[in-house]
C-alpha cells in the first residue's frame, strides 16, 4: 500500500497538516492507499508553484509544448494496462472499460492536443480606415481543474491536455473517492519534460481543498465537473475573483426510440447507455423513451438483456462493477425505494448484491423501472447509478416535451430510420450533444457540453482550446 503526498513543483510534498485519508477499493471496501489531506496552505503552495512556472511556460514555443504532450500520449499508451488496473481498483469500473479509456481516450487527448498546440491562432479583421486589426489568443494563466471520481484518467486528460497546449499552468484537485491515476499522470508529465510547477496535484476533501482552490485569488480560471449543487458553490467562489469558469454539471439524458428504429440495435445501446460504469457517467441514458407502438417489444428485449448482465469485482472485468462508495450505494438504493413509492413498476433488479465475492463491495443489481412519469423524482433527478427509467410517448411533440422536461441538458439520443424525424428532434432537443442511431460520442474530436443547468463551456475538439485562452485585439494605424 502506497502513501501519496501532494504533487507540487515537480515532486511529492507532505501535507501541511500532516493528515492523510484512505483511498478505498469499492469492490472490496478495503484500503488501497493513504493520500494527503489538503488544506488551504497546501493549495496556496501549489498555486504559487504554478504562478512561478507560468511566465516561462506561456512563452515556450507551442511546437515544443506539442512535443511534450505527444510524448506523454505515447507513455500513456505504453503504460495503459497498468494505469487501467490502478483506475479499475480505484473507481470500481470494469478493467476492460478502463483499458479502453487508457488506450483510446486518455492517450488520444495528449496526442490530439499535442498536434494542435502550434495551430491555435487569431485572425485579421477588416475595419474602416487605413488600419490593420488582428486578434491574438493567449493563455488564461493558472487554471484550477476540479475533476470527479468517475474516471479521473478520462476527465483529467480531457482538461489537462488542452489547458497545457494553450500555455496555461494547472493545479488539479481530483475527487477524494478516486485519484490514484492522477499521481502517475503527474509523474509521466515531469518525466517527459514538462517544467516543474506547470502541473500540480492537491488531494483532499471538497469543502477544504476544493473550496480553497476555486476561491484562490491567484487562480485565473476554474474548470469543474460534478453536481449542480457543488458547481453552483464553485461558481460563487470563482465569481469572488471575477475569473471565467467552465462547468459540466451532469444530466438526465433521454434515449428516444421511435417505432421505425432498428430495435435490436437500440436495445443493445440502451443497455450500454445506462449500465456502462454502473450508470456513473454524466451522459448516461438514464431515461428511455419508447414509442407506444413498440413499448412492450422493446421492454421485453431490454429486461432480458439486463438480467443477463454479469456483476462482479472490477478486476474481474465483467459487465458492471460496484458503485463508487458506501454513501453512493445508499443514495442509489434510496432512489430505488423512491421509485417504488412514486408508483413506478420495478421490472428488473432493485437490490443490493452481496453474494460471494460481492459481500464487502458496493454492488447494485442493474435496475429497470417501467411506467415512469416524467414528474417522478427518478425521472427528474440524477441518480448516478445503474437505474433506468422507462417512459412512453405517442408522437414527436410528446417525445420532445418529455425529453426537454428536466433541468438538465447534457445529451440525448434518437433512434429512427426517418431522416426528417432525426433532424427535427436534433434541432429541438435542448441538449449539448445529440446522438442519432447510436449512443455516446464517436471520438474526442467533436465538442461536448451542457445546456440549461448541465453547465456551460465545451470540452473536446478544437473548441476547448478556445475556452482555455483569452482573446486580445490589436489595431495598428497605417497612416
DSSP 358: G
> 227: phi > 0 → left, psi -120 to 50 → alpha, else beta; which?
beta
Burial (CB < 10 A; 0-12, 13-18, 19+), residue 115, is middle
Known active-site residue 173: yes
Known active-site residue 177: no
CB count, 10 Å around CB of 81? 12
User: Residue 471's Cα: distance from chain center in Å?
Assistant: 26
Identify whether the C-beta of residue 83 lies closer than 8 Å to the C-beta of residue 153. Answer: yes
DSSP 202: -
Catalytic residue among 145, 233, 282, 301: 282
Which residues, 6 or more positions from 382, have their beta carbon under 8 angstroms from its beta carbon?
227, 250, 251, 252, 286, 408
Give the distance between the most distant pair of CA atoms in the chain: 83
The C-alpha cell that represents 114 in the structure block: 499535442
Known active-site residue 145: no
Identify whether the C-beta of residue 120 lies closer than 8 Å to the C-beta of residue 129. Answer: no
Catalytic residue among 248, 252, 396, 452: 248
Length of the chain: 479
Give the pairing of strands 221-225 and 387-393.
unpaired
* Phi, psi values for residue 319, rounded to 5°: -80, -40
Catalytic residue among 173, 252, 301, 452: 173
Known active-site residue 223: no
* Phi, psi values for residue 345, rounded to 5°: -100, 120
Give the long-range contacts of residues 234-242, CB within 8 A, separation 24 or more: 234/146, 234/210, 237/211, 238/214, 240/215, 241/215, 241/216, 241/217
As annotated, the active-site residues are: 173, 248, 282, 382
Amino acid at each position: 500500500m502506497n502513501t501519496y503526498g501532494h504533487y507540487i513543483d515537480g515532486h511529492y510534498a507532505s501535507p501541511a497538516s500532516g493528515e492523510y485519508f484512505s483511498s478505498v477499493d469499492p469492490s472490496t471496501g478495503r484500503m488501497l492507499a493513504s493520500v494527503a489531506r489538503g488544506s488551504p496552505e497546501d493549495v496556496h503552495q501549489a498555486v504559487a508553484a504554478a504562478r512561478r512556472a507560468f511566465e516561462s511556460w506561456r512563452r515556450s514555443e507551442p511546437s515544443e509544448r506539442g512535443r511534450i504532450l505527444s510524448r506523454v500520449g505515447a507513455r500513456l499508451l505504453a503504460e495503459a494496462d497498468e494505469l487501467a488496473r490502478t483506475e479499475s481498483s480505484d473507481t470500481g469500473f470494469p478493467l476492460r472499460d478502463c483499458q479502453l479509456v487508457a488506450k483510446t481516450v486518455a492517450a488520444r487527448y495528449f496526442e490530439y492536443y499535442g498536434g494542435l498546440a502550434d495551430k491555435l491562432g487569431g485572425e485579421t479583421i477588416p475595419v474602416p480606415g487605413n488600419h490593420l486589426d488582428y486578434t491574438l489568443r493567449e493563455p488564461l494563466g493558472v487554471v484550477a481543474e476540479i475533476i470527479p471520481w468517475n474516471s479521473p484518467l478520462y476527465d483529467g486528460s480531457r482538461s489537462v491536455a488542452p489547458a497545457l497546449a494553450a500555455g496555461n499552468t494547472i493545479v488539479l484537485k481530483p475527487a477524494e473517492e478516486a485519484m490514484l491515476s492522477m499521481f502517475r499522470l503527474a509523474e509521466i508529465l515531469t518525466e517527459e519534460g514538462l517544467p516543474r510547477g506547470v502541473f500540480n496535484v492537491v488531494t483532499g476533501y471538497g469543502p477544504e481543498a476544493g473550496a480553497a482552490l476555486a476561491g484562490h485569488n491567484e487562480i485565473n480560471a476554474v474548470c469543474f465537473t460534478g453536481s449542480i449543487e457543488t458547481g453552483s458553490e464553485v461558481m460563487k467562489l470563482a465569481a469572488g475573483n471575477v475569473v471565467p469558469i467552465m462547468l459540466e454539471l451532469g444530466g438526465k439524458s433521454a434515449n428516444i426510440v421511435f417505432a421505425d428504429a432498428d430495435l435490436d440495435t437500440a436495445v443493445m445501446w440502451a443497455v450500454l447507455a445506462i449500465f456502462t460504469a454502473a450508470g456513473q457517467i454524466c451522459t448516461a441514458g438514464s431515461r428511455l423513451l419508447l414509442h407506444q407502438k413498440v413499448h412492450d417489444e422493446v421492454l421485453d428485449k431490454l429486461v432480458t438483456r439486463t438480467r443477463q448482465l454479469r456483476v462482479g469485482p472490477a478486476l474481474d472485468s465483467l459487465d458492471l462493477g460496484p458503485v463508487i462508495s458506501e454513501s453512493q450505494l445508499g443514495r442509489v438504493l434510496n432512489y430505488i425505494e423512491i421509485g417504488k413509492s412514486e408508483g413506478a413498476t420495478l421490472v428488473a433488479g432493485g437490490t443490493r448484491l452481496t453474494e460471494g465475492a460481492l459481500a464487502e463491495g458496493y454492488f447494485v443489481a442493474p435496475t429497470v423501472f417501467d411506467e415512469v412519469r416524467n414528474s417522478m423524482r427518478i425521472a427528474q433527478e440524477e441518480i448516478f447509478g445503474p437505474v433506468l427509467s422507462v417512459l412512453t410517448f405517442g408522437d414527436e411533440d410528446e417525445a420532445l416535451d418529455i425529453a426537454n422536461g428536466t433541468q438538465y441538458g447534457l445529451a440525448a439520443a434518437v433512434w429512427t430510420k426517418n431522416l426528417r424525424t432525426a433532424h427535427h428532434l436534433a434541432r429541438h432537443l435542448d441538449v449539448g450533444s445529440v446522438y442519432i442511431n447510436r449512443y455516446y460520442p464517436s471520438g474526442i474530436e467533436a465538442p461536448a457540453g451542457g445546456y440549461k443547468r448541465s453547465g456551460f463551456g465545451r470540452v473536446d475538439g478544437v473548441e476547448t482550446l478556445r475556452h482555455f485562452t483569452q482573446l486580445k485585439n490589436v489595431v495598428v494605424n497605417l497612416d
